[in-house]
C-alpha cells in the first residue's frame, strides 16, 4: 500500500457513451494492471463485468479500476453515464478526490455532461476534462474546447494538443514540457513537435503559462521580466491551481486506440489532488451531534464512508469503503456509528472488475471492499468505537418511474426477498404496496432501470415477474350537501331484519377524511345500533359509490331513523347506514379527484417548445420556466395519470437529453369528461 500522498482517487463521469469505461480499460491494460485489453464493444469489458452491462453495452454500476503507475496507486471509479443510474455517480463522487469529465470530440457537451458537471459543482470537487474519440470522423478538438469554455468556465486550460485529427489522429503534444508523442498500440514514442503545429503550440503554451503564473506573484514577476521559468516551479504551481479548482486541465486522446492514455496517467500522478488535498466533509459525533474534524492522515482515528454495496455471487454482500481518515486492518472490529452497532471486518480486498486483490491494511485515501458486514448499509460511516463519527449521508435522487408488479401465484415471497436484496445494492429504487389500489409498486429512475432490476431478479433469484402500468389511486368526494334515507326491511322466514336511517352528507374542508356526527334525538335509533350505522358507512367509503375508489373528506350527520323492537340488529343498521350514505353521496355533487404531481423538467433550450406542448396535452399547469446555463428548467403541476410513462415520452421528445423529477403535490378534482371515462372503466371492471 502506498502512503496517502501516493494515492489518487479519480471519478470518471460523463454523458453516456463518451468513453469512460473504454478509457479505464485502456488504463488498466496499458499500465500492466491487467493482461488483456477489455472492450465494451466486444462485450468483454473488465469493468462492465455484469452480464446486463455487457449485453446492453452501457455501465450500470460504478466499478473500480486500481492501477499502479510510477509508484502511485490510482483508483479510477468508472461510473455509468446513463441517466437512470445517476445514483452511482453521486456515490462515486463521495469516494473520489477529483472528477474527470469525459467529453466526446464529436458530440461535445451533452445533457449528461451538464448534469455531472453540476454534481461536481455541488460537491465542490476539482475536475479535469478528457476530450475523447479524437480518432472519429468529424472530431474537432478546438471546437469542443470553445464549446466547453462557453458552457462551463474560462478556467479550462489544455495541457495537451492533438496531433492530427480523425483517422490521422496519432498523438499529443505536452504543452508544459514542450514534447510531442506519437502512439502505436498505446505505446508513446517521443517525436519532434510537427512543424505545422509550432504556432499553435506556442499560442496555447502561453495561454497555459498565463493561467499558471497569474496566481503566483513570484512566478508572475519573473514571467513579466522575461526570465526563463523552470519546469518544476511551473508544474508545482499548476498542480496547486488544479487542486484549488482554479485551473481545469484539459487532456485528450482516443481511449479505444490507447492514444494519450499513458500520458493521462502521468497527468494524474503529477497534478491531481491527493486525498490530503481534499477537504473532508464536516462529520458529527452521533452521541452529542457536535462537529468532528477529520483529517485525511494515516495516524488519525479511523473513519470510512460506505459508498456502495454489491452482492457478489461468490462472497455474498460486499461493502465498498472510502477510508477518510486513519487506518484499518483485515479481521478487525469496527463501529458502525450510523447504526450504532459493532461490525467484524473480515478480509479487506481491492475490487478490480470481478476480481479481488487481498490486502491486510488500508489507510486514509484508500478505496477497499469488505465482505459480509451484517448491518451496514450504503451511506453508513464505519469508525472506532472510542472515536465515534458520522459522515454526511449520500443524497440519492427520488425514483420517478413506477410499474405495478404482477407476480404469478406462489412467487410473491421469492420476489419480495429478491427485491429487498437488490435494494441493498441500489438505493435509487423502492418497492411498496399502494394500499389504495392494492398493487405492489416498483419505483425506479426510468424504463431501463426497471428493466435491469427485473432482469437481475430473474437472473439472480430465478423469478420472472410481469408488470403493468400502475392504477391511479383516484379518490371520490363530494362538493355539495344532500340527504339520504334508507329503510332496510326483510321478511324472509324466521326473524326479520329492520333498520331505518336518515342522514346528511357534506364536504369536509379541514383535511380530515371522515367525520361522523350523531344527532339522534329521543332514541329514534337506539344507542347500541349507532356504531353499526357508522361502520356501514365506513365500509362503503373503502369502495366509493361512483367508481369504487376510496371516499375522502366527507362529513356525515345522522339525524333520524326508526327501529323494530324484535327485528332490528347491528347488521340491519349497517346495511341501512351504507345504503343511505350511497344515496346521499350520489346526490351531493360527487366528484373524482386525482393525485397531481409537482414536476420539474430540465431540457436543452431547443426542446422547450416541444416539451411544453407535450405537457399542455398532459393537462399540465405550467408554474414557471427559468434558464440554468443552456438548460431550461420547467416547473409544472401535472396529474399523475398523465405522467405514468413520462420517462419514455420525455426521452423520445428530447432524444434522451431531458431529465425530470416528480413529487406528490395534492389531490385535485378530475374534469368531467375524464371522470366519466374513469367511472365507465370502473363499471366495466365490476362486471
Ligand atoms: N472511435 C472511438 N470510439 C470510442 C472511443 N472511446 C470509446 N469509444 C466507443 O464508444 C462507445 C461507448 O464507450 P464506453 O466506454 O462504453 O462509454 P461510457 O462512457 O463508459 O458509456 P456509459 O457506461 O454508458 O456511460 C463504445 O462503442 C466504444 O467502443 C474512442 O476513443 N474512439
Ligand atoms: Mg461505461
Give the least confident one: 4-18, 144-158, 274-288, 295-309. 274-288
Average pLDDT, the chain: 93
SS3 at position 377:
coil
- Per-residue pLDDT band at 351 (split at 50, 70, 90): confident
Number of Cβ within a 10 Å radius of residue 121 = 13
DSSP-assigned beta bridge partners for residue 404: 441, 468
State the pLDDT at residue 651.
87
Strand duo 333-336 + 381-383: pairing: antiparallel
**Average pLDDT rounded to a whole number, residues 426-435:** 93
Distance 17 CA to ligand 1 centre (A): 5
Query: pLDDT value at position 539?
Result: 95
Spell out which residues have Cβ within 5 A of ligand 2, the ion: 20-21, 59
Could you tell me the three cell numbers for 230? Answer: 523552470
pLDDT at 687: 75
Asked if 508 and 555 touch (Cβ cutoff 8 Å), the reply is: yes
**Angle, alpha carbons 621-625-628 (nearest 5°):** 150
- Tell me which residue has its CA closest to atom 11 in ligand 1: 17
- CB neighbour list of residue 419: distance below 8 Å, 6 or more residues apart: 431, 442, 453, 457
| Residue 1 confidence (pLDDT) | 54
Q: Indicate if the pLDDT at residue 640 is higher than 90.
A: yes
Ligand 1 pocket test, pick from 21, 81, 141, 162 with the greatest ligand atom count within 8 Å of Cβ, gives 21
Q: Which of 24, 40, 42 to mutate to test ligand 1, by most ligand atoms within 8 A of the CB atom?
A: 40
Give the largest CA-CA distance in the chain: 117
pLDDT at 238: 95
Any idea which of 187-191, 220-224, 295-299 has the lowest mean pLDDT?
220-224
Give mean pLDDT, residues 294-322.
89
Q: Name which of 126, 166, 197, 140 is nearest 259 in CA terms.
A: 166
Q: What is the pLDDT of residues 468-526, one digit of tens each?
A: 999 999 999 999 999 999 999 987 767 789 999 999 999 998 889 999 999 999 889 99
Give me the mean pLDDT over the 631-640 stretch.
94
> What's the whole-model pTM score?
0.87
Read off the pLDDT of each residue in 355-379 and give the average, rounded to a whole number: 93
Per-residue pLDDT for 30 more than 70?
yes
Return the ligand 1 atom nearest residue 22 CA.
Answer: 15
Q: Kind of pairing, strands 497-507 and 554-562?
A: antiparallel
- Which atom of ligand 1 lies nearest, measured to the CA of 254? 31
Ligand 1: centre distance to CA 261 (Å) = 14
Please tell me the residue having the least CA distance from ligand 1 atom 21: 17
| Residue 12, all three cell numbers | 470518471
- Residue 66 β-bridge partners: 75
Give the pLDDT of residue 216: 84
List the single range of 306-315, 421-430, 604-613 with lowest mean pLDDT: 306-315
Helical residues (DSSP H) of 487-627, grouped into ranges:
530-542, 570-587, 608-617
Contact 368, 350 (CB under 8 A): yes
In whole angstroms, give the CA distance from residue 60 to residue 48.
8
Identify the pLDDT of residue 290.
92
- Cell numbers placing 491: 321478511
- Which residue from 15, 16, 18, 19 has its CB within 8 A of the most atoms of ligand 1, so it is best to mutate? 19
User: Which residue has 488544479 as its cell numbers?
Assistant: 242
With cell 451496514, the residue in question is: 376
The atom number, within ligand 1, closest to the CA of 24 reads 15
Strand 401-406 versus strand 466-468 pairing type:
antiparallel
Q: Report the share of the chain in percent with pLDDT over 70.
A: 99
Ligand 1 closest atom vs CA 255:
31
Alpha helices in 141-230 (DSSP H): 141-151, 198-213, 217-224
Measured from the alpha carbon of residue 48, the closest ligand is 2
Which atom belonging to ligand 1 lies closest to the Cα atom of 57?
A: 16
For residue 212, the surrounding DSSP H or E stretch is helix 198-213
3-class secondary structure, 9: strand
Q: So what's the pLDDT on residue 313?
A: 61
pLDDT tens digits for 528-577? 999 999 999 999 999 999 999 999 999 999 999 999 998 999 999 999 99
Q: How many CB atoms lie within 10 A of CB 661?
A: 14
Instruction: Return the residue whose CA atom lies nearest to atom 2 of ligand 1.
Output: 133
Ligand nearest to the CA of 15: 1
Q: How far apart are the first and last CA of the chain?
A: 71
CA of 256 to the centre of ligand 2 (A): 13
Of 37-41, 306-310, 630-634, minimum mean pLDDT range: 630-634
* Percent of the chain whose predicted confidence (pLDDT) is above 90: 79
Pick the closest to residue 602 from 112, 109, 14, 86 (CA basis): 112
The CA 66 to ligand 1 mean position distance, Å, reads 20
Find the length of the chain: 687
Q: Which residues line ligand 1 (CB under 6 A)?
A: 14, 16-22, 40-41, 58-59, 80-82, 102, 132-133, 135-136, 254-257
**Ligand 1 atom at shortest distance from the alpha carbon of 25:** 15
Q: How far is the CA of 16 from the centre of ligand 1 (A)?
A: 8
Residue 99 pLDDT > 80: yes
Smallest CA separation from ligand 1 atom 32, residue: 133
Binning pLDDT at 50, 70 and 90, where does residue 460 land?
confident
Q: Which atom of ligand 1 is nearest to the CA of 12?
A: 19
Cα–Cα distance, 558 to 383 (Å, whole number): 62
Amino acid at each position: 500500500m502506498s502512503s496517502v500522498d501516493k494515492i489518487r482517487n479519480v471519478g470518471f463521469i460523463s454523458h453516456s457513451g463518451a468513453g469512460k469505461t473504454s478509457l479505464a480499460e485502456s488504463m488498466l491494460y496499458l499500465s500492466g494492471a491487467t493482461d488483456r485489453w477489455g472492450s465494451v464493444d466486444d462485450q468483454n469489458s473488465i469493468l462492465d463485468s455484469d452480464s446486463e452491462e455487457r449485453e446492453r453495452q452501457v455501465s450500470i454500476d460504478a466499478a473500480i479500476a486500481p492501477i499502479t503507475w510510477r509508484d502511485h496507486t490510482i483508483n479510477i471509479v468508472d461510473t455509468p453515464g446513463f441517466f437512470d443510474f445517476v445514483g452511482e455517480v453521486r456515490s462515486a463522487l463521495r469516494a473520489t478526490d477529483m472528477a474527470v469529465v469525459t467529453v466526446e470530440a464529436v458530440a461535445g457537451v451533452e445533457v449528461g455532461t451538464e448534469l455531472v458537471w453540476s454534481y461536481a459543482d455541488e460537491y465542490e470537487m476539482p475536475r479535469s476534462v478528457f476530450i475523447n474519440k479524437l480518432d472519429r470522423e468529424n472530431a474537432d478538438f478546438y471546437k469542443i474546447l470553445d464549446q466547453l469554455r462557453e458552457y462551463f468556465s474560462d478556467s479550462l486550460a489544455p495541457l495537451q494538443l492533438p496531433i492530427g485529427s480523425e483517422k490521422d489522429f496519432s498523438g499529443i503534444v505536452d504543452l508544459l514540457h514542450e514534447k510531442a508523442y506519437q502512439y502505436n498500440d498505446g505505446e508513446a514514442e517521443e517525436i519532434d513537435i510537427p512543424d505545422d503545429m509550432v504556432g499553435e503550440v506556442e499560442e496555447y503554451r502561453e495561454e497555459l503559462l498565463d493561467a499558471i503564473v497569474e496566481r503566483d506573484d513570484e512566478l508572475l514577476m519573473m514571467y513579466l521580466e522575461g526570465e526563463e521559468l523552470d519546469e518544476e516551479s511551473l508544474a508545482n504551481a499548476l498542480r496547486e491551481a488544479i487542486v484549488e479548482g482554479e485551473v481545469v486541465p484539459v487532456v485528450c486522446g482516443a481511449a479505444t486506440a490507447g492514444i494519450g492514455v499513458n500520458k493521462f496517467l502521468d497527468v494524474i500522478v503529477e497534478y491531481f489532488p491527493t486525498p490530503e488535498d481534499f477537504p473532508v466533509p464536516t462529520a458529527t459525533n452521533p452521541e452529542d451531534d457536535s462537529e468532528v474534524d477529520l483529517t485525511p492522515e494515516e495516524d488519525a482515528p479511523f473513519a470510512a464512508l460506505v459508498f456502495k454495496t454489491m452482492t457478489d455471487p461468490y462472497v455474498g454482500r460486499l461493502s465498498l469503503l472510502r477510508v477518510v481518515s486513519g487506518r484499518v486492518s483485515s479481521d478487525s472490529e469496527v463501529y458502525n456509528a450510523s447504526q450504532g452497532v459493532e461490525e467484524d471486518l473480515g478480509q479487506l480486498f481491492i475490487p478490480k472488475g470481478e476480481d479481488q486483490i487481498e490486502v491486510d491494511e488500508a489507510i486514509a485515501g484508500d478505496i477497499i471492499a469488505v465482505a459480509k458486514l451484517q448491518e451496514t448499509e450504503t451511506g453508513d460511516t464505519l469508525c472506532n468505537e472510542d472515536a465515534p463519527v458520522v459522515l454526511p449521508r449520500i443524497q440519492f435522487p427520488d425514483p420517478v418511474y413506477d410499474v405495478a408488479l404482477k407476480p404469478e401465484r406462489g412467487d410473491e415471497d421469492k420476489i419480495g426477498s429478491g427485491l429487498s436484496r437488490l435494494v441493498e445494492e441500489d438505493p435509487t429504487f423502492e418497492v411498496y404496496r399502494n394500499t389504495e389500489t392494492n398493487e405492489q409498486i416498483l419505483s425506479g429512475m426510468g424504463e431501463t432501470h426497471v428493466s435491469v432490476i427485473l432482469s437481475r431478479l430473474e437472473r439472480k433469484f430465478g423469478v420472472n415477474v410481469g408488470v403493468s402500468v400502475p392504477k391511479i389511486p383516484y379518490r371520490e368526494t363530494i362538493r355539495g350537501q344532500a340527504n339520504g334515507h334508507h329503510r332496510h326491511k326483510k321478511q324472509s322466514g324466521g326473524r326479520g331484519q329492520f333498520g331505518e336511517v336518515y342522514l346528511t352528507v357534506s364536504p369536509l374542508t379541514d383535511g380530515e377524511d371522515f367525520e361522523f356526527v350523531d344527532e339522534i334525538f329521543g332514541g329514534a335509533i337506539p344507542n347500541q345500533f349507532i356504531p353499526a350505522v357508522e361502520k356501514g358507512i365506513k365500509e362503503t367509503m373503502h369502495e366509493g359509490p361512483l367508481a369504487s375508489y376510496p371516499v375522502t373528506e366527507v362529513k356525515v350527520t345522522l339525524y333520524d331513523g326508526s327501529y323494530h323492537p324484535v327485528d332490528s340488529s347491528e347488521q340491519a343498521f349497517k346495511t341501512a347506514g351504507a345504503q343511505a350514505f350511497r344515496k346521499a353521496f350520489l346526490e351531493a355533487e360527487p366528484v373524482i379527484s386525482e393525485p397531481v404531481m409537482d414536476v420539474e423538467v430540465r431540457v436543452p433550450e431547443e426542446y422547450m417548445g416541444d416539451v411544453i406542448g407535450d405537457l399542455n396535452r398532459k393537462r399540465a399547469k405550467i408554474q414557471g420556466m427559468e434558464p440554468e446555463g443552456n438548460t431550461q428548467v420547467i416547473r409544472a403541476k401535472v396529474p399523475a395519470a398523465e405522467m405514468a410513462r413520462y420517462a419514455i415520452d420525455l426521452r423520445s421528445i428530447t432524444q434522451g437529453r431531458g431529465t425530470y423529477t416528480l413529487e406528490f403535490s395534492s389531490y385535485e378534482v378530475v374534469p368531467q369528461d375524464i371522470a366519466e371515462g374513469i367511472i365507465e372503466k370502473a363499471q366495466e371492471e365490476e362486471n
